[in-house]
């Protein structure tokens, strides 16, 4: 690792030529993006030959690490058999095997599944089934929520930059409640707001919630919140869908973050880490939500060409086996501790850390101006400085002030320690400027 030694000339050249193909608004040209050519374990390499320790898990996908040998072997094996089946018409055997493995990890035995490729697809499934089952199109979502950017999911996503350009297309079907602070100081007020929405016509058909808000800034609700939310949903006869696209598949330790509270949601959405780098997501539903289309005959009203995509399913099986075989979920607490320690050190050294929060390998360090106050562009500058120091990380939160530290569970402790040291240096350098 260490300082990226070779410059970024080839990346810049390639991106400049790409710029003629990409529509504006897809990638910020000022960021200084790198063009990646290789990945292995917790490392990434760019076209200039620079290596990075990946503290982003590539948006949370590489939970078992990049190109895990078991995932690669499973994909190769599957590719030699069948690359694509006929989804809902003639499913492939490997998708059935994956679903049986998933079923053993769920909080109740009666979940049914719709497989898909992106996290947003899984949310679309949940929202469509909820509207079909309840006859009510409304959604209760939380301020700061991110559930994906396809049109249905965007109704639930509550971060303005993603909604504003497409406002003309939105049905504004979501009503929002505040997301509670971790210290519980406002949780009664939040639950009262939820109760009010669930009682006031038009009553929503579904409540969608992230157990930890990811893109909203790694925001952790207080213990007990999910449990109370589930109780309110049950009392009101409104479906509860827990979006575990970011938090699921052991990112915080347990298979599902919501498991910690003993919640049995009507719907659970998984994606990102599930396919170990191959596109794979799933919406798991039970009870009346799963029964929404019962009695329907003829054309399947909700499906996709790539439903049950064999390469994704084979990779998913390998991910689940690898988690068990390598005992990866048990590494989450040590990763959390290392990041917490580093964050507190940075806080003392720079005065530029407002808060360290998260769980397991889903951590956020909120940046502030040294000594306090809004961070301005400090978060973005630290992220870019970290890139030049050989560490890949992203920032989250509406103010772009939360360093998202979410390494693969398989990251060697020494890599994590060195990468955190480099991020600390990046913060020190930028906080001084």
Ligand X SMILES: Cc1ncc(COP(=O)(O)O)c(C=O)c1O
431 binds ligand X (CB under 6 A): no
Query: Distance (Å, rounded) from C-alpha 365 to C-alpha 358?
Result: 9
Q: Assign 3-class secondary structure to 85-153.
A: CECCCECCHHHHHHHHHHHCCCCCCCCEEEEECCHHHHHHHHHHHHHHHHCCCCEEEECCCCCCCCHHH
**HSE, side-chain direction, 13 A CA sphere, residue 165:** 6
127 binds ligand X (CB under 6 A): no
Q: Quick one: 271 or 308, whose CB is closer to ligand X?
A: 271
**Binding of ligand X at residue 271 (CB under 6 A)?**
yes
Say whether residue 116 binds ligand X (CB under 6 A). no
Our finding on whether 217 is near ligand X (CB under 6 A) is: no
The partner residues of 141 in beta bridges, in order of sequence, read 176
Based on the shown chain and the rule CB under 6 A, indicate whether residue 139 belongs to the binding site for ligand X.
Answer: no
Instruction: Rule CB under 6 A: say whether 119 interacts with ligand X.
Output: yes
Give the contact letters, 286-325, x = binds to ligand X (CB under 6 A), - = no.
Answer: ----------------------------------------
CA dihedral defined by 334, 339, 340, 346, rounded to 10 degrees?
A: 150
CA 228 and chain centroid, separation:
23
Q: What is the secondary structure of 147-189 as a DSSP string? A: --SSHHHHHH---HHHHGGGGGG----EEEEPPPPTT-TTHHH
Identify the residue whose tokens are 């306090």: 372
Closest approach of ligand X to the CB of residue 18, in Å: 21
Applying CB under 6 A, which of residues 46, 228, 243, 396 lies at the interface with ligand X? 243
Q: Does 215 bind ligand X (CB under 6 A)?
A: yes
How far CA 161 is from CA of 84, 157, 166, 286, 399, in Å, comes to 36, 10, 10, 33, 11
Using CB under 6 A as the binding rule, whether residue 246 contacts ligand X is answered as: yes
Q: How far is the CB of 124 from ligand X (least distance, A)?
A: 9
Examine residue 124 and tell whether it contacts ligand X (CB under 6 A).
no
Interface with ligand X, residue 257, by CB under 6 A? no
Q: Binding to ligand X by residue 214, rule CB under 6 A? A: yes
Instruction: By CB under 6 A, name the one of 48, 124, 210, 396 that touches ligand X.
Output: 210
Q: What are 24's two structure tokens?
A: 């504006």
Segment near ligand X (CB under 6 A); pick from 171-179, 239-247, 366-374, 392-400 = 239-247
CB contact at 8 A, 47 and 11: yes
Tokens coding 139: 């959604």
Q: Tell me the C-alpha distance between 72 and 287, whole Å.
A: 36
How many residues touch ligand X under the rule CB under 6 A: the total is 14
Instruction: Write down the H helix ranges in 19-85.
Output: 57-60, 69-79
Of 233, 245, 278, 404, which one interacts with ligand X (CB under 6 A)?
Answer: 245
Residue closer to ligand X by CB (options 43, 147) is: 147
Considering the complex, state which of residue 1 and residue 149 has its C-beta at the smaller distance from ligand X: 149
Q: How far is the CB of 388 from ligand X (least distance, A)?
A: 25
Q: Kindly state the smallest distance separating residue 117's Cβ from ligand X, in Å.
A: 8
Q: How far is the CB of 270 from ligand X (least distance, A)?
A: 10
> Which of 8, 78, 118, 410 lies at the binding interface for ligand X (CB under 6 A)?
118
User: Per CB under 6 A, does 147 bind ligand X?
Assistant: yes
Of the pair 245, 386, the CB lying nearest ligand X is at 245
Instruction: Specify whether the backbone of 367 is left (phi greater than 0), alpha (psi in -120 to 50) or beta.
Output: beta
User: What is the nearest approach in angstroms of ligand X to the Cβ of residue 119?
Assistant: 2
DSSP 295-317: T--SS-SS--TTTT-HHHHHHHH
What tokens were used for 208?
A: 């969608």
Interacting residues toward ligand X by CB under 6 A: 118-120, 123, 146-148, 210, 214-215, 243, 245-246, 271
């Amino acid at each position: 690792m260490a300082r990226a030694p070779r410059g970024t000339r080839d990346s810049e050249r390639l991106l400049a030529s790409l710029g003629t193909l990409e529509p504006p608004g897809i990638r910020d040209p000022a960021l200084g993006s790198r063009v990646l050519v290789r990945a292995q374990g917790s490392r990434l390499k760019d076209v200039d030959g620079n290596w990075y320790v990946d503290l982003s898990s590539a948006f949370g996908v590489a939970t078992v690490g990049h190109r895990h040998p078991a995932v690669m072997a499973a994909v190769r094996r599957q590719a030699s058999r069948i690359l694509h089946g006929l989804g809902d018409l003639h499913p492939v055997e490997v998708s059935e095997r994956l679903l049986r493995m998933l079923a053993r990890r769920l909080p109740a035995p009666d979940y049914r599944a719709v497989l898909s490729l992106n996290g947003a697809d899984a949310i679309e499934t949940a929202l469509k089934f909820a509207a079909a089952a309840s006859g009510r199109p409304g959604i209760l979502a939380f301020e700061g929520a991110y559930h994906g950017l396809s049109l249905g999911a965007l109704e639930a996503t509550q971060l303005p930059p993603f909604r504003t350009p497409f406002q003309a297309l939105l049905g504004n079907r979501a009503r929002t409640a505040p997301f509670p602070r971790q210290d519980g100081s406002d949780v009664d007020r939040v639950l009262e707001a939820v109760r009010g929405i669930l009682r006031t016509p038009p009553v929503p058909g579904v409540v969608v919630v992230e157990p930890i808000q990811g893109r909203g800034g790694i925001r952790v609700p207080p213990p007990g919140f999910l449990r109370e939310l589930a109780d309110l949903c049950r009392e009101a006869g409104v479906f509860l869908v827990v979006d575990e696209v970011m938090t699921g598949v052991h990112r915080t330790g347990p298979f599902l973050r919501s498991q910690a509270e003993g919640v049995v949601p009507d719907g659970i959405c998984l994606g990102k880490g599930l396919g170990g780098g191959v596109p794979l997501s799933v919406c798991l539903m039970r009870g009346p939500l799963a029964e929404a289309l019962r009695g329907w005959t003829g054309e399947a009203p909700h499906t996709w060409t790539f439903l049950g995509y064999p390469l994704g399913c084979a990779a998913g099986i390998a991910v689940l086996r690898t988690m068990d075989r390598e005992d990866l979920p048990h590494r989450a607490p040590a990763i959390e501790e290392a990041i917490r320690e580093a964050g507190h050190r940075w806080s003392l050294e720079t005065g530029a850390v407002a808060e360290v929060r998260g769980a397991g390998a889903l951590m956020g360090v909120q940046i502030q101006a040294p000594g306090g106050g809004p961070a301005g562009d400090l978060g973005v500058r630290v992220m870019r400085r970290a890139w030049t120091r050989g560490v890949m990380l992203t920032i989250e939160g509406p103010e772009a002030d939360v360093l998202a530290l979410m390494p693969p569970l398989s990251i060697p402790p020494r890599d994590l320690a060195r990468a955190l040291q480099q991020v600390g240096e990046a913060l020190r350098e930028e906080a001084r400027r």
